């Protein structure tokens, strides 16, 4: 498993210890570790800071010089939104050439983000869990960079400045076209992508049922008994309430940001109109989040809509200044004091609220008490569910299942079925978690059954030899030299021992006599096999020679030494057709091609047409159907 999964597993063990070890104590503030409390609050603070940076960029030309200097010296624009354009306004925004170069840099950033997603999603083969973790943190990074990319590209792309086409007209045109392409792929694609996955994984329209469902999945993820919260991208909507489109708040917020930047870019030369429209958009959005709190956690909702009203106030002051409203408070010296009073007071208020949240332990809806209530009395059930989840993650991480045993999977399925029967009788919500894990394990078990070479005692005892032979088989091109013939012979013998492949020893020839089944002539092939028996250990030769199952099986092809090859092939082809044994037919096809038997080839073509050409190996099919 990945490092992140191991870390989560350790945290889950700590939660188990806290839940069920009565002697274990933990400070109350550490219980927030198992919730999304801090992560959600941090994202809200970041969004408010980015919107403040945008309000400063939109009002830059009308703000008092003293206020501009204070904001620039604090580097707020760069820290929260990477807005170098506002910090170096005279060098970047007012100079057309530098502005185009600056926009090209943001094109590179956005193009890298788009390319990074497609690279890790479709090109680089990552384990399932790694890909899930990558997508989660990629979406967080894309959300954080959403406003900086929009602010770095769209105003310059619309280019409502006086000197847009003075110089570098071709570069400006190319940059505008590329910026609109990025707008479609990234700035519009991101919210559409998230809205699609949110709609796909919602299970109910009932707010109470939705709340219970999200709580259940968060609790399961906290205890590491299910990763559905992560694998089904429930983190995209688990912070928000269900009704009135609030569950889609994340893509709605991004569209809100995009609309602000588009208005800023299009109406840049009409400062008064621009600020009026921006103020209305911010006020409407703040009013919506106030009337319909979007977050499940009330402290987050309160912090969020208060921050949006602060941004709306800044926009409104900018509108009054841009509209040349005649008031004593809007004189530059008074305006600076007013801006400081509004924003410093707001920052102190937000910090005070955060202190209250911490002091009164306002927690995420799923916290330690919730987990205790849901998990009380089910300690051993949760331990089994965690083991089942760990087995699922390990099996999903494997590239093949050739050496995976089915017994542990069957044992885990049996345990989960017993748990499910008990939970079903009690109508406990964890029954659906058990059922989900049973479905996944049944699916993985079928894949293991179809691919595994185990159990095979002889194979397990000589696994190292098998690996060596197979590695040599794949690293060398098998030609007809004696050494390579022996390597290929050993490979076929090992497959023969497994009993899962129907093969003919490659260089055995026709060294069988027709005096009873299993009677053979001694030849060079037996000497080569003797060397293999010595490597495999004592008892192997006796076990093979006395195995009636091997020599009496119709899947092992041999013929009398004096038999007519064509007649022998046709007889065996009819037998394989009656037995409906495709492996036997494949071996007979190879033999018919070696002997160039026209009668056998015609018969085989008819059979394969009936059975399906795709069931025959591509190389043999091409040779058989070659005119």
pTM: 0.61
Average pLDDT, the chain: 75
Domain ranges within the chain, ordered by starting residue: 35-207+224-359, 377-455, 456-563, 564-627
Q: Residue 120: what pLDDT?
A: 86
pLDDT band for position 486 (50/70/90)? low
Give residue-wise pLDDT tens across range 215-252.
878 777 777 777 778 888 888 888 899 888 899 999 99
Pairwise CA distance, residues 218 & 232, whole Å: 12
Helix H or strand E segment including 358:
helix 332-359
Tokens at 426, concatenated: 């009690």
Are 431 and 423 in contact, with CB atoms under 8 Å apart?
Answer: yes
Q: Residue 612: what pLDDT?
A: 80
Radius of gyration of the chain (CA): 36
On the question of pLDDT at 48 being above 70, the answer is: yes
Burial class for 72, CB neighbours closer than 10 Å (0-12, 13-18, 19+): middle
On the question of pLDDT at 533 being above 80, the answer is: no
Q: Residue 271: what pLDDT?
A: 87
Tokens at 311, concatenated: 């941004």
Give residue-wise pLDDT tens across range 402-450.
778 888 999 999 999 988 888 887 777 778 888 888 999 999 999 888 8
Candidate ranges 65-69, 229-233, 475-479; pick with highest mean pLDDT: 229-233
Tokens at 93, concatenated: 């925004």
pLDDT band for position 112 (50/70/90)? very high
On the question of pLDDT at 254 being above 90, the answer is: yes
Closest Cα to residue 365, out of 37, 33, 43?
37
Pairwise CA distance, residues 161 & 201, whole Å: 45
Q: How many CB atoms lie within 10 A of CB 624?
A: 18
Give residue-wise pLDDT tens across range 345-402.
988 988 888 887 777 655 556 665 666 665 655 667 877 888 888 898 888 888 788 7
First to last CA, the chain: 52
Candidate ranges 82-86, 108-112, 472-476, 522-526; pick with highest mean pLDDT: 108-112
Reduce the DSSP state of residue 240 to 3 states and report it: strand
Tokens at 302, concatenated: 């309160």
Q: What b/e string do you get for 296-320 counting C-beta neighbours within 10 Å, with b at 16 or more?
A: bbebbbbbbbbbbbbbbbbbbbbbb
Residue 33 DSSP code: G
Give residue-wise pLDDT tens across range 182-206.
888 999 999 999 999 899 888 888 8
Pairwise CA distance, residues 614 & 625, whole Å: 13
Pairwise CA distance, residues 141 & 126, whole Å: 19
Burial class for 115, CB neighbours closer than 10 Å (0-12, 13-18, 19+): exposed
Burial class for 510, CB neighbours closer than 10 Å (0-12, 13-18, 19+): middle
On the question of pLDDT at 461 being above 90, the answer is: no
Pairwise CA distance, residues 112 & 107, whole Å: 8
Give residue-wise pLDDT tens across range 296-344.
888 889 999 999 999 999 999 888 888 877 666 677 777 878 888 888 8
Q: Which residue has the higher pLDDT, 491 or 17?
A: 491
Give residue-wise pLDDT tens across range 125-141.
777 778 888 888 899 99
Q: How many CB atoms lie within 10 A of CB 100?
A: 22
Q: Residue 458: what pLDDT?
A: 62
Q: Which residue has the higher pLDDT, 460 or 524?
A: 460
């Amino acid at each position: 498993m990945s490092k992140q999964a191991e870390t989560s597993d350790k945290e889950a063990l700590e939660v188990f210890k806290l839940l069920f070890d009565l002697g274990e104590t933990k400070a109350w503030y550490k219980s927030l570790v198992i919730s999304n409390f801090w992560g959600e609050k941090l994202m809200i603070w970041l969004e408010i800071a980015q919107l403040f940076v945008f309000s400063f960029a939109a009002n830059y030309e009308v703000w008092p010089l003293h206020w501009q200097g204070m904001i620039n010296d604090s580097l707020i624009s760069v820290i929260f939104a990477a807005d170098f354009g506002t910090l170096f306004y005279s060098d970047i925004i007012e100079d057309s050439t530098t502005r185009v170069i600056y926009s090209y840099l943001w094109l590179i950033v956005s193009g890298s983000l788009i390319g990074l997603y497609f690279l890790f999603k479709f090109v680089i083969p990552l384990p399932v869990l790694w890909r899930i973790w990558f997508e989660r943190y990629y979406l967080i990074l894309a959300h954080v960079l959403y406003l900086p990319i929009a602010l770095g590209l769209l105003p310059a792309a619309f280019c409502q400045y006086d000197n847009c086409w003075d110089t570098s007209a071709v570069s400006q045109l190319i940059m505008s076209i590329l910026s609109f392409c990025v707008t479609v792929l990234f700035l519009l694609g991101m919210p559409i992508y998230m809205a699609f996955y949110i709609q796909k994984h919602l299970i109910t329209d009932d707010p109470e049922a939705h709340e219970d469902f999200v709580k259940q999945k968060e609790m399961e993820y906290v205890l590491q008994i299910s990763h559905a919260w992560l694998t089904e991208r429930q983190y995209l909507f688990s912070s928000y309430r269900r009704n009135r489109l609030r569950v889609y708040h994340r893509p709605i917020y991004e569209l809100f940001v995009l609309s602000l930047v588009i208005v800023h870019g299009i109406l840049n030369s009409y400062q008064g109109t621009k600020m009026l429209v921006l103020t209305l958009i911010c006020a409407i959005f703040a009013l919506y989040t106030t009337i319909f709190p979007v977050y499940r956690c009330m402290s987050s909702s309160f912090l969020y809509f208060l921050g949006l009203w602060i941004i709306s106030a800044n926009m409104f002051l900018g509108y009054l200044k841009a509209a040349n409203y005649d008031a004593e408070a809007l004189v530059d010296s008074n305006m600076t004091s007013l801006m400081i009073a509004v924003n410093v007071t707001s920052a102190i208020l937000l910090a005070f609220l955060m202190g209250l949240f911490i002091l009164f332990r306002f927690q995420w809806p799923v916290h330690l008490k919730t987990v205790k209530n849901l998990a009380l009395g089910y300690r051993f059930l949760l331990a089994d569910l965690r083991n089942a989840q760990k087995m699922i993650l390990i099996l999903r991480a494997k590239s093949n299942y050739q050496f995976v045993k089915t017994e542990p999977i069957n044992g885990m399925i049996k345990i989960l079925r017993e748990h499910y029967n008990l939970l079903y009788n009690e109508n406990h919500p964890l029954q659906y978690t058990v059922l989900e894990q049973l479905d996944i394990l049944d699916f993985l078990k079928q894949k293991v059954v179809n691919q595994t070479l185990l159990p095979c005692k002889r194979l397990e005892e000589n696994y190292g030899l098998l690996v060596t032979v197979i590695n040599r088989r794949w690293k060398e091109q098998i030609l007809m030299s004696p050494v390579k013939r022996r390597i290929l012979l050993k490979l076929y013998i090992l497959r023969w021992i497994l009993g899962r492949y129907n093969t003919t020893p490659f260089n055995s020839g026709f060294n069988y006599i027709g005096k009873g089944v299993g009677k053979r002539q001694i030849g060079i092939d037996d000497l080569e096999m003797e060397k293999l028996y010595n490597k495999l250990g004592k008892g192997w030769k006796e076990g093979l020679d006395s195995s009636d199952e091997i020599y009496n099986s119709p899947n092992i092809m041999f013929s009398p030494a004096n038999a007519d090859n064509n007649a022998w092939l046709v007889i065996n082809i009819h037998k394989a057709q009656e037995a409906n044994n495709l492996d036997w037919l494949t071996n007979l096809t190879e033999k018919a091609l070696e002997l160039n038997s026209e009668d056998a080839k015609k018969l085989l073509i008819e059979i394969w047409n009936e059975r399906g050409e795709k069931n025959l190996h591509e190389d043999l099919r091409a040779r058989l159907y070659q005119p």
